[in-house]
Each structure stands twice: as structure tokens, then as C-alpha cells.
Structure 1
Amino acid sequence: MNVKLFLTRTLLVLGLCAWVALGRGEDKKDKVIPAPEFTGITEWVNAKEIKVADQKGKVMIVHFWTNGCINCIHNYPHYVAWQDKYKDEKSLVMVGVHTPEFDAEKDVARIKERAKKNKLTFAIAVDNDLKTWQAWGNRYWPCVYLVDKAGNVRYRWEGELGDAGYKSMTAQVDELLKEAAPKGK
């Protein structure tokens, strides 16, 4: 067999496998993906412990970030805008999962100082052992997940939101808030 043809076919097969493995090759609209629990949280900032299971009937904005990531820092104004927009919305919970990329980012005093400096008043789960990161199968900083009132992950945005991402995710939050709560809640 021609080596060039063999390499081309091999790369094509590997590319297709990667595409499917990353979820690009399947339609997930009809799949129900329950939101994982917050696991192995080192400390909670701005809140007492929050359990995903206790949030049924509420929409959740869950975002993974770390205070040393420039892309995460660029999302701060969007997080503050959501805090302001939904401050009186009793059926919405916002949780920032601070998962460090480097050991220096594990300093809880620094996390608290950065949150205060940037007016981040939402609940912050300090995930220093990456247990929640792993439970959610997260791959990127920053990453925003929207969880519906039934406790299912409905939307995900990987990377900086920018204006387009902020508008898109805000529209999704508004739609989720309009949905009826599951029976029993």
C-alpha cells in the first residue's frame, strides 16, 4: 500500500474519532444530562455549602474559572452583569467553581480578595483538588453551564463569552426561567 495513502486514511480516521469523542458527531439536544454534584469542595466563598440536588426548581448558572486566567478575568463583567440582572430572581442560583490551574491559584485568601476587588458576590466553590472539575467532565477555563429546573445541563459555553456569548447565554437563561418547574417542586 502506498505510504502516503495509508497516512492520509489514518489521519482521516483519527480525525473522525476525535470529532465524535468531543461530541461534535452527535446531536445532544434530546439527551438528558443530569448536572453532577459539587464534589470535594475545599471551601465555599460568599455562601454556605450548595448542593445541586437541593436546587431542583431553580435554574443554575455554573461557571468554571480560575483567578490567574486572563480569559476568565475577561468574563468577570458578564458575571457581574448576571448578578445585577438576576439579583431579585429567586429561581436562579449562580455558582462559580474556582478550579486552579496552578498551585499559586489555590490560595483561598487570594480568591476572596479577587472576588471582592471585582465585585463577584455569587457563591464560589473552591475546587482545589479538581474533584468537581472531574465530576462535570470540564475541559476549559472558563466554561459556563446552564442547568434547568429539573437539574439537567442544557447549555454549555467554552471559553470567553464576549458580547455574543453573553447575549446568547442570557437569552438561554431567560428561556429556562420561563419553563415550568418539575412536578413536586
Structure 2
Amino acid sequence: MTAAAPAPLPVIVVMGVSGSGKSTVGGLLAERLGVPYAEADDFHPAANIAKMAAGHPLDDTDRAPWLDAIAAWIAERGDRGGVVSCSALRRRYRDRLRADAPGLFFLHLDGSPELIASRLAARMQHFMPSGLLASQFEALEPLEADEAGAVIPITGGPQQITERALAALPCRSGSGSD
């Protein structure tokens, strides 16, 4: 009997508000899966970073080119897998990311505003001020039943959160390819 080939690994979006651990968990998850990792902040135009650093939330016009750049990275991954961090707070943003990648899988890192605020307060060298956290929670639209994904509690350390994320994936593989 021949072993069945493993199912292709989907591209995974690690989503949530600022300070939820997207970059840390996303990097660890990609490492564990053996796939490339992309940091959504790297896709922002300089004007977006300056706006957020000044304490102003982005609007949908600001987000459009950023989401399009992330969606292009996702589409390039095909069925080879990959992990990208992206706040993806609203359903319409997730729909935009999934437009050319229907197999996209979202991992929503979820925690209380108090926990995330404490993490933001301890974070150094990031352009996102903690004053914008409330606007992110206001904008957050949880995953809906028809969206492929899972909610991952962010209690515990990065390794524990990553283990929960791995367990939630629809197909697990320790060896991805690029």
C-alpha cells in the first residue's frame, strides 16, 4: 500500500490586534512548518507608518495598497504554504486577502484588551502607539462560521501559543518547501 501524499499546506494568516503576538507567533509557526514568513508591517508604504506613528488610525484608502501587496505575496505562495502576519481586523479585509487564495487559513490571536495593552506597554521600537489599541478592538470583526480559521488564546508564552496554533491547522506538516 502506498502512503498518501500529504495535503498541501495552506497559506496561513496570523491575525489580531496590535500587540497580540502576530509577528512572534507567525515567525515561530513558519519555522516549525518549514515555510517562508512575511511580516505585514513590511508591506506598509512609508506614509502609513508615519500616520500610525503619529497616533492616527488608517482608513480603508490607506489600507488598500497594503492589503493588495499582502494578497500578492499570498497568491505567489500557491500550494507551497507560507505564514504572514496581518491584523485582518475586518471581514472585508480578509475577503480581499482570500480573493485569489480561497484556501487561506486564518489564526486569530485573541486576548483581553488588558493583556494586550500590557504587552504593548512593554514593547520597544515599534511604530504602533498603544493609544490606537482601542480603535483596533472597535474595528475587530471576529472570524465568521464560513471563514477557514481558528481562534487561538494568547495566554502563556510564545511557544505555548504556537503549539495551540499548530494544533488548530487543518493539515500539519513539519516540512514545507519553498
TM-score scaled by length of structure 2: 0.33
Find the structure with the greater CA-based Rg.
1
Structure having the larger proportion of residues in strand:
1
Structure having the larger proportion of residues in helix:
2
